[in-house]
Copies of this chain bind each other. A is one copy, B any other.
Amino acid sequence: MPRTVDRPERLSAISDAVVTIATEHGFAAVTIRTVAERIGASTSLVTHYVGHRDDILRSAVRRVVEARCREADRVVGGTAGPDALRALVEWAVLASDDDHGIHRFWLALVVGSAGEPALREELDVFNSWWDTRLRQALAAAEIADTDQAADLINVVVDGLIIGAFDNGHPWPPHRRQCILTATWSALGVAPREERP
């Protein structure tokens, strides 16, 4: 089989390995050697496919970020007015238990970005996307002071995510929902109607 055929598969396996290692042990633990060990390949095979360590970090982060952005756009798509704002924020903090993994990866990215410019740049790309979407949603919800509202929502979203790790386990959904209800109230956004 010619080498080009399995290239996407190899790249995908390498990115998966980066994400798993970073999620479990932080980005400092991601090296060409640990990635190679994880996929059962030689270090020269890894560098053949992806080049330097920064390249494998960047492409792995970008893949996760792009998938998250697509997911958010799918969840928010079709909503309007304050529903769009609620859908975006709820997607960020309320969704399934699977999110504990993606939140842990995000936390590893935040921590790693302090010492690794490549990670800082990728996180900035994600933050810039988030900021654009959030401001669109705040405009759709007709919130006047978008700067202050964006700050408050960012603090609440970050706080709800980190709270799961501070406590050692995710908060039950109703406690997270109470925080969002207080946030909507502070912003003058009507809470979503209760469903049984």
Q: Which residues of A contact B (CB under 8 A)?
A: 24-26, 28-29, 104, 107-108, 110-111, 113-115, 120, 123-124, 127, 148, 151-152, 154-163, 165-168, 171, 175, 178-179, 182-183, 185-186
**Residue pair B160, A155 in contact (C-beta under 8 Å):** yes
Q: 4 tightest A-B contacts by CB?
A: A159-B159, A155-B159, A158-B159, A158-B162
With A24-B115, A115-B24, A186-B185 as contacts: A155 and B168 at CB distance below 8 Å = no
Min Cβ gap A47→B in Å is: 24
Judged by DSSP, the binding face of A is helix
Report the Cα distance A28→B165, complex, angstroms: 16
Per a CB cutoff under 8 Å, which of B26, B104, B156, B167 touches A156?
A: B156
Q: For A167, list chain B residues within 8 Å (CB).
A: 127
Which residues of B sit under 8 angstroms from A165, Cβ to Cβ?
110-111, 113-114
Interface centre among A25, A108, A158 (most CB of B within 10 A): A158
Q: How far is the CB of A78 from chain B (nearest CB, A)?
A: 29
Contact A127 B159 (CB under 8 A): no
